[in-house]
Structure 1
Amino acid sequence: MIRTLLRNSLILALGLYLSIYVLPEVFHVNETVSKFLMILGAVLWFSKSNNRWLLNMFSIVLGVVFLCLGFIGFALLFG
């Protein structure tokens, strides 16, 4: 269960990073399109999973925390 939680959280954090930074800044994709692509990917990922909804919700929260920690670590390291 912990392995599934961490895997889902890291995948979600990577998807959030791609939709927040890489798609709009590097590939010049519209931010609204990038946001909807991330939402679509997350909905498909969690709808296909056989996990309970509480585990999925907790992995969303943990994914956002991982993303924030990554941004903070990057800012402290290179800021």
Structure 2
Amino acid sequence: MTINYLLRREQEELHRAESAKSRSARLVHKALALAYGKLLSKSTYPHNRFESDAERGVKHRSRLEAEAEDASWENEGGAKR
């Protein structure tokens, strides 16, 4: 398998996961994309793996907490820089 093949297959599976109508199909396509990503990461190609939904959720919660903290600071008379 060539690097181009692995990259293409990973992208196809990511696209299929996004456009899948059922949860089970999304999970299967995400799992396949992750498997291709792991193969790519073992190669010499500088591969950027995609974030999982869980990783995105943690970042989203952290951003919401920071925004809430900023809002409370402003309500106490503080000023945002």
Considering the TM-score relative to the shorter chain, is it more than 0.5?
no
- Name the larger-Rg structure: 2
* Structure with more of its chain in helix, by fraction: 1
- With the length of structure 2 as denominator, give the TM-score of the two structures: 0.34
